[in-house]
Amino acid sequence: MAARRRTLGDEHPDTLASINNLAILLKNQGKLGEAEPLYRTALAAQRRTLGDEHPATLNSINGFALLLCDNGDLPSSYVLYCESLSGCRRVLGDSHPLTFWPMSGLAKCLRRQGRFDEALPLALEAHTGRCAHLGGAHPDTFPSAHELGVLLRLIGAPARAHPYASAAYEGLLRVVGAEHRDTLSSQLSLARAQGDAALASALAARGVIELLLARGAAK
């Protein structure tokens, strides 16, 4: 990022890609406060230089929406997810792999707001689309399966949730390993769908501790 800023300038597309990539890395490390200004910088420059509906801009909008959702700012996240999804549908089409990201993200945001009836059709569309166009074993399909499993359990359909939760857990176990936070989250969802209260409680407690550690709030 520093080298591109020196040689290409602050608003070159490659520089903005590096800023966005650093923001993604920081977010994945749990450093949301450090990631947010980088997301804002990259997105504002992309809007100016590339336009609101360039695929790179839409991808950055989606990434920033995800950060805001994880940080608890659900109203702002919802607005950005809606913008990204509508732009992706217009520019790329309903079945483009990039379109499935804000589609699934918006479902997650709505679910966290308790708007299950609005979230479920989006989650179904995202997962069905990814299975059709990417395949059930593609890594991008596992988050969609996880989200669908969570939603179905929350609306009182654990039997319907179970195959999705199981597919997400087994897939993530293969791809990123047993200790990855996404795998643990899927294992928690599967335990809850199976009614395994003891395992669910242990996994939930572990997740809270790891989140605090990632954010520097616990020792």
Mean pLDDT per 10-residue segment, the chain (219 residues):
95 94 90 93 95 94 94 96 97 95 96 95 96 93 95 94 96 92 90 90 71 39
What does the alpha-carbon distance between residue 178 and residue 10 come to, in Å, rounded to a whole number? Answer: 40
**Listed residue (129, 139, 126, 191) closest to 165, CA to CA:** 191
What is the location of CATH 1.25.40.10 in the chain? Answer: 1-119
What pLDDT, on a 0 to 100 scale, did the predictor assign at position 176?
92
**Listed residue (182, 183, 120) closest to 155, CA to CA:** 120
Q: Which are the contacts of 199, defined by CB distance < 8 A and separation ≥ 6?
A: 187, 191
Assigned token pair, 121: 């059709």
What pLDDT, on a 0 to 100 scale, did the predictor assign at position 215?
42
What pLDDT, on a 0 to 100 scale, did the predictor assign at position 205?
81
How many C-beta atoms surround the C-beta of residue 68 within 10 A?
A: 22
What pLDDT, on a 0 to 100 scale, did the predictor assign at position 112?
94
Question: pTM of the predicted model, to two decimals?
Answer: 0.87
* C-alpha distances in Å from residue 217, one per residue of 125, 210, 211: 37, 10, 9
3-state secondary structure of 28: helix
What pLDDT, on a 0 to 100 scale, did the predictor assign at position 219?
28
What pLDDT, on a 0 to 100 scale, did the predictor assign at position 2?
95
**Listed residue (98, 102, 137) closest to 123, CA to CA:** 102
CATH number of 1-119: 1.25.40.10
Q: Which are the contacts of 17, defined by CB distance < 8 A and separation ≥ 6?
A: 56
What does the alpha-carbon distance between residue 119 and residue 127 come to, in Å, rounded to a whole number? Answer: 12
